[in-house]
Structure 1
Amino acid sequence: MIFKHLALASFAILSLSACQTTTGTESTPIVNVPFTAPLASDFRSEIAIARYSELLNRVDLSPEQQAKLYYDRGVLFDSLGMTTLSRIDFNRAVKLKPDLAEVYNFLGIQHTLMQQYEKAYEFFDSALELDEQHEYAYLNRGIALYYGDRPGIAKTDFSAFLARSPNDPYRVLWVYLAEAKLNKDQALAELITNATALDDSQWAYQLISLFTGDMSEHDFLSRISEGVKSEQEYAQRLCEAYFYLAKLHQAAGQQYLASDYFRLALATNVHEFIEYKYARLELELMTGEDAS
């Protein structure tokens, strides 16, 4: 049943209308893309939240046990898009146990999303002081620096993140995005060089081909469902694809297309993916909205 549904979903077309229309005529579609139903919340996460809440009412818990429960519940809140509740739990956890590096990493992400970049840097610095090998703190601090208009320092963090796994296409892509803010020609040359370490059989390699110009947007979209084994995987793949397509069009100055793709990334409901989280921030920045 899943494969039948996905086969249909991959051919479903969503037409998005342009923001500008000609008087007396119908609006013209901007993009035609594969689409699927938004990812539903995992009921198991909701049950786990209820269980953690029951455990936190016990009086015989040590501060360390309480901190771990607040952290675990916060992660689940975050995965369901309940950002405020997750932040409350993360703050509780770090007060009880100030040496939880992963909590600082999550708090850094959340302050980045609120455009509170200086505070975000502090949290990521704390995470790395506690655990220098916390590689995703390098990624997330790099993203905070990227959105905080510090692309040179951002690239340093992205490069450190890439060095820990040179065969990861996403890491290669974030190095490119930072460098492209400094020197587009150099960024493309470096992207092509870094791509030589990648396995071109991975689906994410197609993202690299898209940015190097070796694959057209039409071909990229038409192959997006290849190898997908579940609806969840399909929604996750679409979330990533839409976000990076938006970044590609944004760099080309095609703001209407970029905003439409960012909205499509949000429509997948893949709350735990960074592409989902930063699609919302991108839209806020495009409209000049201050989330803080």
Structure 2
Amino acid sequence: MKWFHTAAMSLSLLVISGCASITGNNDTKWLYPPMAVPLQAGLQQEVQIARLTQLLQRADLADDLRAEMFYKRGSYYDSVGLKDLARLDYDQSLSLNPEQPELFNLLGVYYTQVGEFDAAYDAFDSALELDPDNSYALRNRAVALYYGDRLHLAMEDITQHYEEDPSDPFRALWRYIIQSKQQPEQARAELLESYQHRDEQWGWLLVAISLNQVSEEQVFNAILQGTPDNTLLAQRLTEAYFYLAKRYQQEGDYAQALSLYKLVLSFNMFDYVEHRYALLELGRIYHTVREERKAEQQAAN
């Protein structure tokens, strides 16, 4: 695929990406991982938060309008990483207008992030009761069930989600991640079959990362060549480092996975699911390593 061709990087591209490389005869070796400038809260976001805060102090607002304002302010809080303030606003909005499936979906993602899985399931169930065709809520419930170790139910949801659009590489990826917990060989075979029927969507490069079909150098070059600005670079690297970290985690290389998940968090892409779940993954790795070391000490004694 043309995405994977290796080419020399210009000086300006290297400065923008914040990476360094050495070039051999056949490939590029990276001394430092490609980076983007971490995104910061914009003036517009801060102004909107301040404006909505002022408007919400008015006593003459109708409940439906107040609910909408809480929802909007919560969305701005969420976009700058203030997830607890966002949750409070979402709760306020739902107390005024409980028929908001998109808000239940957002709350479900929040509860998944913080490991409150029963609350997450309830939120996603509410979202799907209000909107049975909400594909995002179905996918997010599958992910919550996966992290909550309810793998059979997770597979039911993610399979339904995948079958709605098999051409979507992210659907294929999450089906693979969930299925790998119980059927790693079958999961890889099915993802490889999907990959062989790929189109030009960006996400298939992430599938290639997961399948180890391309080198990391090729991946980095493809991202750098296809990202004209820092925001898009931050988005692409957030996704790439997350799925690369998942691969290393599955291989048992926890040190590499930890480093990559930390890179995912560094770009401040707060509204990306990869950013949302990277911190959760870090906690799971720390727990796994701690339990392994405890078992080794007990065996040694």
Give yes or no for TM over 0.5. Answer: yes
Q: CA deviation at 1:103?
A: 1.2
The equivalent residue for 1:288 is 287
Counterparts of 1:112 and 1:85, CA distance in 2: 16
Segments of 4+ moved more than 6 angstroms: none
Q: CA deviation at 1:207?
A: 1.2
Q: Which amino acid aligns with 1:257?
A: Q
Which structure has greater helix proportion?
2
Counterparts of 1:229 and 1:248, CA distance in 2: 27
SS at match of 2:108: helix
The residue correspondences of 1:203-218 to structure 2 (distance < 5 A) are 203-218=202-217
SS at match of 2:132: coil
The gaps in structure 1 that reach 5 residues or longer are 15-29
Q: CA deviation at 1:213?
A: 2.9
Counterparts of 2:201 and 2:32, CA distance in 1: 24
The equivalent residue for 1:17 is none
Deviations along 1:10-63, one digit per CA (max 9) or x if unpaired, are: 36149xxxxxxxxxxxxxxx9831112111212211111112112212222111
The equivalent residue for 1:66 is 66
Q: Which amino acid aligns with 1:240?
A: E
The residue correspondences of 1:73-222 to structure 2 (distance < 5 A) are 73-199=73-199, 201-222=200-221
Deviations along 1:182-230, one digit per CA (max 9) or x if unpaired, are: 111100111022234431x222211112222321223212322122122
Q: 1:141 to 1:269 in 2, by over 3 A?
A: same
Counterparts of 1:277 and 1:41, CA distance in 2: 17
> Is the 1:166–1:197 Cα contact (8 Å) retained in structure 2?
no
The equivalent residue for 2:295 is none
SS at match of 2:32: strand
Counterparts of 1:273 and 1:131, CA distance in 2: 22
The equivalent residue for 1:9 is 16
Q: 1:259 to 1:93 in 2, by over 3 A?
A: same
Q: Name which of structure 1's ranges 131-140 and 216-225 shifts more when overlaid on structure 2.
A: 216-225
The equivalent residue for 2:33 is 33
Deviations along 1:86-125, one digit per CA (max 9) or x if unpaired, are: 0110110111111111111111111111111111101100
Deviations along 1:159-199, one digit per CA (max 9) or x if unpaired, are: 22223332221111000001111111100111022234431
> Is the 2:249–2:257 Cα contact (8 Å) retained in structure 1?
yes
The residue correspondences of 1:35-54 to structure 2 (distance < 5 A) are 35-54=35-54
Q: Which amino acid aligns with 1:39?
A: L
The equivalent residue for 2:248 is 249
> Is the 2:209–2:216 Cα contact (8 Å) retained in structure 1?
yes
The equivalent residue for 2:4 is none
What TM-score comes out, normalization by structure 1 length?
0.87
**Count of residue pairs the alignment pairs up:** 271
Counterparts of 1:122 and 1:145, CA distance in 2: 11
Counterparts of 1:287 and 1:89, CA distance in 2: 32
Counterparts of 2:164 and 2:53, CA distance in 1: 37
The equivalent residue for 1:227 is 226
Deviations along 1:214-247, one digit per CA (max 9) or x if unpaired, are: 2122321232212212210000101111111100
Counterparts of 2:150 and 2:45, CA distance in 1: 36
Q: 1:212 to 1:287 in 2, by over 3 A?
A: closer
SS at match of 2:81: coil
